[in-house]
Amino acid sequence: MLAAERGAAPNTLAAYGADLEDFAGFARAAGQAPAGADAELLRAYLRRLADAGLKPRTAARRLSALRQFYRFLAREGVRQEDPTELLDSPRLPPTLPKPIAEAEVAALIEGAGRLPGHRGPLAAAALELLYCSGLRASELVALPAAALRPDAALIAVRGKGGRERLVPISARARDAALAAREALGERPRGKAGRKAEGKPAALPPRWLFPARGASGHMTRQHLGLLLKDAALAAGIEPARVSPHVLRHSFASHLLGRGADLRSLQLLLGHADIATTQIYTQVLEERLKALVEAHHPLAEG
């Protein structure tokens, strides 16, 4: 089913096979057929994984394989119920953001400016806006052209759940976005690279980052590739750079320079401040490393 209906990759199929085979061995040792296992046996298996020191994330992946296996059996009528419905997933520790350094952000923007043609101004504008306002990738690409005004210090952004918020935009980011708009406006139009004769002039673009796709604006995938190219130009490992990393960097750098959590929550558009509190862990780790590296009594 995974191969034929979902088109799962070979590595995914191998991982599912290994996880299910491990559980099958446990079930047989307990005197049960894997396909007929009950919730109690599954709980015992998860306890064994915990006792063996398996990381919660690995245990959660194995439980995910079991959930899909038993849902498949129930859907196909092999068994009446899905025993995994009664199981709780292992608690996963929050994933700490991995921001890049302030100097690396500056190098990244400089690298973006060196990209050829219109891609240079476009990448620079995207980076400036992501880093100065902490925008999500989906929020950036869907910014309407009207959001950018030469005299506006704030722009309205529609985030998750349709919630709208105002975010500040620096003069530098605004200038970069205006330069990108001008560069895009100078691009050749039409298949022959010029305006078709006898046709009316094109209307101003609806989006700040227009594109020819169905949505009319740049896609998140295109944005991600643009940032990777900027990273290569800056001599930074591309795997370390993404719109999400820029958002994390914005939050972490602000917090490190004294911003309070409530203000950060409003800027990031988090519905719950608990989501914002993850950044305090980043700051705690940094302060801990600072003390361990420089405190006179830290050695030994």
Non-local CB neighbours of 166 within 8 Å, separated by 6+ positions:
154, 155, 156, 157
In the annotation, is 16 catalytic?
A: no
The answer to whether the CB of 151 falls within 8 A of the CB of 137 is no
Residue 76 amino acid letter: E
CA distance 96 to 56: 15
| Residue appearing with tokens 């296996």 | 69
How far is Cα of residue 236 from the mean position of the Cα atoms in its chain? 19
In the annotation, is 288 catalytic?
A: no
At residue 228, φ and ψ (nearest 5 deg) are -60, -40
In the annotation, is 131 catalytic?
A: no
Of the candidates 75, 160, 195, 240, the residue annotated as catalytic is 160
**Residue 142, number of CB atoms within 10 A of its CB:** 20
Of the candidates 174, 217, 247, 248, the residue annotated as catalytic is 247
In the annotation, is 91 catalytic?
A: no
The DSSP annotation for 64-76 comes to: HHHHHHHHHHHHT
CA distance 79 to 21: 19
Of the candidates 174, 181, 248, 270, the residue annotated as catalytic is 270
Using CA atoms, how far residue 150 sits from 141, 162, 169, 247, in Å, is 19, 26, 11, 24
Of the candidates 43, 119, 189, 244, the residue annotated as catalytic is 244
Of the candidates 136, 181, 217, 248, the residue annotated as catalytic is 136
Instruction: Provide the β-strand partners of residue 156.
Output: 166
In the annotation, is 244 catalytic?
A: yes
Q: Which long-range contacts (CB under 8 A, 24 or more apart) does 274-280 make?
A: 276/251, 278/94, 278/96, 278/97, 279/97, 279/248, 279/251, 279/252, 279/255, 280/255
In the annotation, is 279 catalytic?
A: yes
The DSSP annotation for 33-64 comes to: -GGG--HHHHHHHHHHHHHTT--HHHHHHHHH
Which positions are annotated as active-site residues?
136, 160, 244, 247, 270, 279
